[in-house]
Structure formats: structure tokens, C-alpha cells
Amino acid sequence: MVKSASSCGPSSEREISLKSGQAVYEALKQLNVDVVAIDVQSDDIDENTRLLKSHKINCAFIALHGRFGEDGQVQEVLDDLNIPYTGSGSLASSLAIDKIASRRILEVAGVAVPRYKVLDKNSYRQDWKFNENFTFPVVVKPATHGSSIGLSLLMMKKN
């Protein structure tokens, strides 16, 4: 019999991870799968290696959102333990969660992407004329968070 795991995580998206993990756990239980829910509470590699080893699972259904779930880190731990899992591998996951890296890959492949500007503490200048380069409203998103965490919609200020 396969002993599978559904897990949660330590990211800013922990609450949705817990809900997803519970839903997957319940669905697998209803299918009579020998399943255990694993609550990943840290992004410490050694701690999570010990945690996963302690449950002696044969495969993992990853229900983690955000950091240490969608970014390839948990996939690396599972790869090191030779435990198969759902979803993409570690490299694909780390590239997909990184908005800048994934956009560059899409651009090189000839896929049309909306105009964008990468702003960080090193490139930001107060005198930069944002409204001359973009049509409002614009979406601002952290480069390496999942789904809608940190998303902002900027509207042009009316005088």
C-alpha cells in the first residue's frame, strides 16, 4: 500500500496551504489511500528532511503555496530522499515562482508578455516618471511570492 502525504508550509500563504492540504487529505482518505498530513512549519532543510523521513512516506502530494512549496525547495528535499511527488520539479518550480526569471524565459521563447518594469531598492528613483511609461491602472507584484500575496493595483492620482 502506498503511504502518501499532504503537507502545508511556512510561507506567507500558510493559511491557504492549510486549507489545500486538508482538502487533499480528506479526498485521499475518501479514496481509502493510506495518507498522513504533514505540517511543514519551517523552511529549514534539515528539519524538513527529518520530518519527512519520520513519516516513512512513499510519495507526496504537495499542497504548499508560496515559499518552500512552489519555489522548488521542498521538491529538492523530496528528490534527495527519492520520494516522488506531484507537480513540477525543483528547477521548474523555482523559475515559475520567480516572475522576473519566468518572464525572461517567455520573452526569449517569443511569447508576448505585457510591458513591465522591475523595481527594487537599487534601481528605484523618486524622480522616475512612472506615468510616462505605463497606462494606469498598473499591477505591482513581488517577484517571488505566489498567487496574489503582495499584489497591489496602482491608480493614477487625479489632480
* First-to-last C-alpha distance (Å) of the chain: 67
Lateral strand order in the sheet of 59-62: 34-39, 3-8, 59-62
Domain 3-96: give its CATH architecture. 3-Layer(aba) Sandwich (3.40)
The answer to whether 9 touches 74, Cβ cutoff 8 Å, is yes
Q: How far is CA 96 from CA 17, 66, 70, 107, in A?
A: 18, 11, 8, 14
How far is residue 100's CA from residue 89's CA, in Å, rounded to a whole number? 19
pLDDT surpassing 80 at residue 83? yes
pLDDT of residue 69: 81
Enumerate the CATH 3.40.50.20 domain ranges in the chain, comma separated: 3-96
Which comes out higher in pLDDT, residue 96 or 143? 96
Count of CB atoms within 10 A of residue 156's CB? 12
* Helix locations, the chain, DSSP H: 14-30, 45-55, 73-80, 90-97, 99-108, 130-133
| Side chain identity, residue 37 | A
Q: Using a cut of 0.85, tell me whether the model's pTM lies above it.
A: no
Which comes out higher in pLDDT, residue 121 or 7? 121
Residue 130 pLDDT level (bands cut at 50, 70, 90): low
Which comes out higher in pLDDT, residue 145 or 46? 46
pLDDT of residue 119: 78
Mean pLDDT, residues 120-144: 74
